[in-house]
Amino acid sequence: MDAAVNPLLIAWDSPFDLPPFALVRSEHFKPAFEHGMRAHKAELAHIAAQAAAPDFDNTLVAFDASGRLLARVEALFHNLAASATDDALQAVQREMAAPLAAHWSAVYMDDALFARVDAVHARRDTLGLDTEQRRLLERVHLDFVRAGARLTGPARTRCAELMQRLAELTTTFAQNVLHDEASYALELRGEADLSGLPAWLRAAAHQAALERGLPGGHVITLARSLIVPFLSFSPRRDLREQAWRAWVSRGEHDGAHDNRPVAAAILALRREQAALHGHASYADYALADSMAREPAQVWALLDSVWAKAVPALERERALLLRARDAQGVREPIEAWDWRFWAEQVRREHYALDEAELKGYFPLPAMVQAAFDCAQRLFGLRFSARPDLATYHADALAYEVADAAGRTIGLFVQDNFARAGKRSGAWMSALHWQHRNGFESRPVVLNNNNFARGEAGGPTLLSLDDVRTLFHEFGHGLHGLLSNVRYERLSGTQVLRDFVELPSQLFEHWIDEPEVLQRHARHWQTGEPIPAALIERVRAARRFGQGYESVRYTASALVDLAAHTAAGPIDDIVAFEQRVLAERRAPAVAGLNHRLPHFQHLFSGSGYAAGYYVYLWAEVLDADAYDAFVEAGDPFDAQVAERLRRWVYASGNSVEPGAAYEAFRGRAARVEPMLRERGLIGT
């Protein structure tokens, strides 16, 4: 396809350099990728072949500035593949996975290019580099080494082959999960099936039915904002079991979309990849570039939490059993029953009814609450830009300005679950902030999967939904507030066990009474949430932490066990069951993610051997929020300024441990996290 007629290959002259979404078609991507890869290779060949001796500017700065056409096409493609995909786009995704992986392998195994990077790196102590320059040099050099630049002969060839095959398999894994999620719906037929469901959940189930072509019905899909409340409110144990089994068996069905052999193949290839790099396991390879550094550190953290989480869950189970017995029920509490009986305990012990609470959390108000907290902390202002076209009507654009009124970037928020959008919640970017060659303003996207309210009615969030919104917004702020020179160091491109700190930390502000009283107003009356209800929420906050801690930690233990295994894992389900049995994991809790649908691990490599990072970052975020507690003000200006500078704005320009200590004045302590989870006394 001629570049002149391919909208991906012409200049984008819209504000914030947004793509011309309305013009982009699936068939544009393959030729755009091919053109972008050729252009990138030419740029790198020029860097490698120049006569001038390698120095920081002509090698590292030039490398950081290369490949921008390819990068913008990849960013758009991956966003659409996650948020607005279809069969044609998925076909391109499958077709291009291996060629793109081959391209990046060739980049980082280019002998002439690495020789220049390596030469500059060898002289790093004599070049007078500032902190950010040295960090760029060290990170780029490590990128080359970890990608195989020092491998030779058959090992180098095999490494490139592995990366191509892994790209194909991780694409298949993600598409299989999306298939299972999109193809399932539990139809609720009549009042008997709807009994016990609050009005807001009925409305959301009806809207989901409309979107699936069932205008007069109600359905429960596998979107978390539908299935979790259904499991919490429905007294129909048979229907709860049906929904739960569908939820936990995603990716585990015989046929074309079975992820069990896919995950096993990914694990085998990762073991081989680690061995090529001289590591005993993939976990050793992955964690070498992390704050944890080695599996032993992660095992120690997970073991310490597991030892406290299981007894906490047993205390919670006793409360559930009493609630069950009080209602004269004799069936055992199974995994599909836990949330239902936990909801009964919340009502009895804390006078807390999720249905009552949700009325105070309409989606637009919670979006404004997040914006307001960002303004009070960092001086940011978010202005709606309905004139800017995005890839879907659900994706709303906001111009972001700093305290001086200077526009710093664009924020796009896409909040609703729908067909063609993968599950979960995530942050991505179409453009990263940097100042290498020009001033690049970030375009940051947040994706959530909330159940849409009935047409004409409100979308009401659970408190868990609100935390998700604030969590992803924290990631968004990490991208928007980035203030670095080099694109490789921008925003969330930090070590994996640091990246969740800005997101998890931002969740704390939704627990602040003054934030709730300002923004949590009933969607019908406009009345602020009563102080007594806030107190009940705070009192109930630790209830359920045993259950959530067991589910999360069990998933992290299975992840680490799978990626430290010395031999092949032919049956991932049997392996998962064996790990849980060895840990005496309570079956009633289950896991956050089972291996056949564990997208953190198998839809890419970012969280492989790294699901622990949420807990690692929780140690940091709990300790970090204590700085505001100690200051006596959740919006203390001095603490907020240190937080902005060292956590949200520094990107990867500073080693993360040093960045945290510069903010806090010391290393993080684990006790605040354990207190927050109710795993130790206050």
Distance CA 190, CA 597 (A): 32
Work out the burial of residue 393: count CB atoms within 10 Å of its CB; fewer than 13 is exposed, 13-18 middle, 19 or more buried.
exposed
As given in the structure block, the two tokens for residue 274 are 């680690």
Query: Alpha-carbon distance 365 to 367, whole Å?
Result: 5
User: Which phi and psi (to 5°) does residue 566 adopt?
Assistant: -80, -25
Q: Which amino acid is at 257?
A: H
- Three-state SS for 529? coil
Within 10 Å of residue 328's Cβ, how many Cβ atoms?
6
429: helix, coil or strand? strand
Dihedrals phi, psi of 96, to nearest 5 degrees = -95, -10
Q: How far is the C-alpha of 541 from the C-alpha of 543, rounded, in Å? A: 6
Q: Percent helix, strand, coil in the chain (nearest 5)?
A: 60, 5, 35
Residues 6+ apart with CB under 8 A from 433: 408, 409, 440, 441, 442, 479, 480, 482, 483, 484, 490, 491
Give the whole-angstrom CA distance, residue 51 versus residue 421. Answer: 49
Q: How far is CA 461 from CA 313, 415, 534, 543, in A?
A: 26, 11, 16, 20
Residue of 660, 281, 673, 670 whose CA lies nearest to 499: 660
* Residue 245 CB partners (closer than 8 Å, separation 6+): 336
| Sign of torsion over alpha carbons 289, 476, 250, 99 | negative
Virtual CA dihedral for 235, 236, 241, 243, nearest 10 degrees? -90
Structure tokens at 122: 């060898």
**Closest alpha carbon to 137 in 56, 30, 70, 44:** 56
| HEC string for 568-615 | CCCCHHHHHHHHHHHCCCCCCCCCCCCHHHCHHHHCCCCCCCCCCHHH
C-alpha R_g of the chain: 25
Positions annotated as catalytic residues are 472
Tokens of 351: 């006078």
SS3 for 672? helix
If one counts every other C-beta atom within 10 angstroms of the C-beta of residue 314, the result is 12
Strand-pair category, 426-431 with 443-450? antiparallel
Q: Which of 401, 385, 678 is nearest to 546 (CA)?
A: 678
29: nearest Cα among 109, 102, 93: 93
Is the distance from CB of 650 to CB of 330 less than 8 angstroms?
Answer: no
Transcribe 60-89 into DSSP letters: IIHHHTS-HHHHHHHHHHHHHHHHS--HHH
CA 541 from chain centre, in angstroms, equals: 23
Produce one character per residue of 493-511: b if its CB has 16 or more CB atoms within 10 Å, e if not: bbbbbbbbbbbbbbbbbbb
Other beta carbons within 10 Å of 375: 15
CA–CA gap between residue 33 and residue 28 (Å, rounded): 9
